[in-house]
Amino acid sequence: MSNSDSGTYVSYLDYEGKHKGLMGWLLTTDHKRIGLMYLYCVIVFFFVAAIIGELMRIELIAPGETIMKPQTYNGMFTIHGIIMIFVIVIPALPAIFGNFFLPILIGAKDVAFPKLNLFSFYLYLIGAIFGVLSQFIGGGAPDTGWTFYVPYSAESSTNVIYALVAAFILGFSSILTGLNFIVTIHRMRAPGMGWFRMPLFPWSLYATAWIQVLATPIVGITLLMVIAERVLKIGFFDPALGGDPVLYQHLFWIYSHPAVYIMILPAMGIVTEIFPTFSQKPVFGYTAILFSSLAIAFIGYFVWGHHMFTAGISYGSRWFFSFLTFLVAIPSAVKVFNWVSTMYGGSIDLKPPLLFAIFFIFLFMIGGFTGLTLGSVATDIQVHDTAFVVAHFHYIIFGGMGFATFAGIHYWFPKMFGRMYNNTLAYTSSIVLFIGFNMLYFPQFILGIQGMPRRYFDYLPQFQTGQVISTIGGFILFAGLLIMVGNLMWHARRGVQAPANPWNGVTLEWQIPSPPPHENFDEIPEITHAPYLFGTGSDNKTI
Amino acid sequence: MIMKNGETHISSFASLGIVLTVLLALTTISVLVTGWHLGPFSVAIALIIASIKVRTVLTYFMHVKFENLFLKLMITGVFVLYALVIIITFIDYYLR
Query: What's the one-letter identity of residue B93?
Result: Y
Q: Which residues contact A443 (CB under 8 A, 6 or more apart)?
A: A466, A467, A469, A470, A473
Strands (E), A251-353: none
Q: Does residue B8 sit within a domain?
A: no
The residue of B54, B92, B94 whose CB has the most chain A CBs within 10 angstroms, and thus the best one to mutate to test that interface, is: B92
- The b-or-e profile of A134-156 (16+ CB within 10 A means b, else e) is bbeeeebbbbbbbbbbbbebbeb
Name the band, by pLDDT with cuts 50, 70 and 90, for residue B8: low
Question: Are B85 and A313 inside 8 Å of each other by CB?
Answer: no
Q: Does residue A516 sit within a domain?
A: no
pLDDT at position A136: 83
Average per-residue pLDDT for chain B: 87
Q: State the nearest Cα–Cα gap between A540 and chain B, in angstroms.
A: 28
Helices vs strands, H then E, count in chain B: 3, 0
What value does the mean pLDDT take over residues B68-91? 91
d(CA A427, CA A425): 5
Question: Are A301 and B85 inside 8 Å of each other by CB?
Answer: yes
C-beta of residue A276 within 8 angstroms of C-beta of residue A282: yes
pLDDT at position A538: 46
C-beta of residue A488 within 8 angstroms of C-beta of residue A469: no
Q: State the nearest Cα–Cα gap between A372 and chain B, in angstroms.
A: 22
**Of A80, A230, A111, A256, nearest in space to A165 by CA:** A230
d(CA A19, CA A28): 8
Question: Are B81 and A301 inside 8 Å of each other by CB?
Answer: yes
pLDDT at position B11: 79
d(CA A345, CA A364): 23
Nearest CA in chain B to A249: B89
Statement: residue B20 has pLDDT above 90: yes
Residues of chain A in contact with residue B91, where contact means CB-CB under 8 angstroms, are 314, 316-317
Backbone angles phi, psi at A370, to 5 degrees: -70, -20
Name the band, by pLDDT with cuts 50, 70 and 90, for residue B35: confident
Q: Does residue A354 sit within a domain?
A: yes
Domain count, chain A: 1
Q: Does residue B4 sit within a domain?
A: no
| CA dihedral for A28, A32, A35, A41, sign (positive or negative) | negative
Question: Are A315 and B91 inside 8 Å of each other by CB?
Answer: no
Give the structural domain span for B42: 13-95
Of A250, A312, A315, the CB nearest to B89: A250
pLDDT at position B70: 87
Residues of chain B in contact with residue A254, where contact means CB-CB under 8 angstroms, are 85, 89
Instruction: From first to last of the 543 residues of chain A, give the pLDDT tens digit.
Output: 344 444 578 999 999 888 889 999 999 999 999 999 999 999 999 999 999 999 999 999 999 999 999 999 999 999 999 999 999 999 999 999 999 999 999 999 999 999 999 999 999 999 999 888 888 887 889 999 999 999 899 889 999 999 999 999 999 999 999 999 999 999 999 999 999 999 999 999 999 999 999 999 999 999 999 999 999 999 999 888 889 999 999 999 999 999 988 899 999 999 999 999 999 999 999 999 999 989 998 998 899 999 999 999 999 999 999 999 999 999 999 999 999 999 999 999 999 999 999 999 999 999 999 999 999 999 999 999 999 999 999 999 999 999 999 999 999 999 999 999 999 999 999 999 999 999 999 999 999 999 999 999 999 999 999 999 999 999 999 999 999 999 999 999 999 999 999 999 999 999 999 999 999 999 999 999 889 988 754 444 444
Question: Are B95 and A316 inside 8 Å of each other by CB?
Answer: yes
B78 — contact with chain A (CB < 8 Å)?
A: yes
pLDDT at position A2: 43
pLDDT at position B71: 87
Question: Are B81 and A305 inside 8 Å of each other by CB?
Answer: no
d(CA A226, CA A235): 9
Domain count, chain B: 1
Nearest CA in chain A to B95: A314
d(CA A365, CA A373): 13
pLDDT at position A469: 98
pLDDT at position A444: 97
d(CA A201, CA A390): 28
Q: Does residue B1 sit within a domain?
A: no
d(CA B20, CA A300): 38
**Of A265, A10, A306, nearest in space to B88 by CA:** A306
The residue of B79, B85, B86 whose CB has the most chain A CBs within 10 angstroms, and thus the best one to mutate to test that interface, is: B85
Question: Are B96 and A313 inside 8 Å of each other by CB?
Answer: yes
Question: Are B96 and A214 inside 8 Å of each other by CB?
Answer: no
Residues of chain B in contact with residue A313, where contact means CB-CB under 8 angstroms, are 92, 96
pLDDT at position B4: 52
| CA dihedral for A16, A419, A204, A428, sign (positive or negative) | negative
pLDDT at position A140: 87
d(CA A475, CA A482): 11
Most distant CA atoms of chain A, gap in Å: 72
Of A218, A247, A302, the CB nearest to B88: A302
Name the band, by pLDDT with cuts 50, 70 and 90, for residue B63: confident
- For residue A106, give Cα distances in angstroms to A38, A102, A310, A407, A462: 21, 6, 45, 21, 55
pLDDT at position A494: 94
Q: Does residue B42 sit within a domain?
A: yes
Q: Does residue A539 sit within a domain?
A: no
Give the structural domain span for A221: 10-511
DSSP secondary-structure letter at A313? -
pLDDT at position A4: 45
Q: Does residue A357 sit within a domain?
A: yes
Q: Does residue B89 sit within a domain?
A: yes
B96 — contact with chain A (CB < 8 Å)?
A: yes
Residues of chain A in contact with residue B81, where contact means CB-CB under 8 angstroms, are 214, 301
CATH code for position A457: 1.20.210.10
Q: Does residue A1 sit within a domain?
A: no
Question: Are B85 and A254 inside 8 Å of each other by CB?
Answer: yes
